Amino acid sequence: MLIQAKGLSKIYGSGENQVVALDKANLTIAPGDFISIIGPSGSGKSTLLHLLSGLDHPTSGSLTYDGQEIYTLSDKELSAFRRRQMGFIFQQFNLLPVLTARENILMPLLLDKKQPDEGYLDQLAELLGLRDRLDHLPHELSGGQQQRVAIARALIAQPEVIFADEPTGNLDSKSGGEVMELLKGIRDRMGKTLVIITHDNRIAAAADRQLTIMDGVLSEVEAG
């Protein structure tokens, strides 16, 4: 899946209260890219992530997935596209507290009226070290385990692209390091595209391509 953002802008408010949250961002994401986007609070990271994942509409600009303009899809088409092609990982894990780890992981399939693939669930549980934790509720799991459940949930529908918003922001450095290793492994072994938003330099440095965002202006840090 080739993702191309061209001249993406998001402007909130008008007149004196106008805020340019994202200023004509251009970005090409190739299949299997591992990208980090780093910037301070309020720099436009969430805005960019919401636009790239089709959750929000830009004020101007275009976004294509394999040449298909995303923002022209109907709400229904876009939510189906997001469910099938994108996985999301959040800082706060966002697990449903009354569901077990297994039920949380399978939730995206349920929403899409798809049958769970037990073999794939088993493979994910093994990869993420969750085999003996699947019947536990989130509050019975450590932060690192909860985030691993969230990673499995992001992968269960076999999307091509994973968006992670501060995935280690709520974890101690050891669990955070483990989560990053797992995410890298997922890119290497499964060939997923990985886009990580962070304000942590160490996390950003783990990616193959690093972008910075400052006052809504996105730029790529040249390697070397």
| CA–CA gap between residue 173 and residue 177 (Å, rounded) | 6
Between 45 and 133, whose beta carbon lies closer to ligand ADP?
A: 45
Between 5 and 121, whose beta carbon lies closer to ligand ADP?
A: 5
Q: How far is CA 30 from the centre of its chain?
A: 15
| CA–CA gap between residue 48 and residue 50 (Å, rounded) | 5
Q: How far is the CB of 108 from ligand ADP (least distance, A)?
A: 24
Between 37 and 128, whose beta carbon lies closer to ligand ADP?
A: 37
Between 71 and 120, whose beta carbon lies closer to ligand ADP?
A: 71
Q: How far is the CB of 42 from ligand ADP (least distance, A)?
A: 4
Between 40 and 116, whose beta carbon lies closer to ligand ADP?
A: 40
Q: How far is the CB of 196 from ligand ADP (least distance, A)?
A: 13
Residue 199 near residue 172 (C-beta atoms within 8 A): no
Between 56 and 117, whose beta carbon lies closer to ligand ADP?
A: 56
Binding site residues, ligand ADP, CB under 6 A: 12-13, 19, 21, 39, 41-47
Element (H, E) at 36: strand 34-38
**Phi/psi of residue 160, nearest 5 degrees:** -90, -25
| CA–CA gap between residue 65 and residue 112 (Å, rounded) | 20
Q: How far is the CB of 165 from ligand ADP (least distance, A)?
A: 8
| CA–CA gap between residue 79 and residue 164 (Å, rounded) | 18
> CA 72 → CA 15, 54, 56, 58, 75, distances in Å?
28, 10, 12, 12, 9
Q: How far is CA 105 from the centre of its chain?
A: 15
Residue 91 near residue 169 (C-beta atoms within 8 A): yes
Q: Which amino acid is at 9?
A: S
Q: How far is the CB of 185 from ligand ADP (least distance, A)?
A: 27
Q: How far is the CB of 164 from ligand ADP (least distance, A)?
A: 13
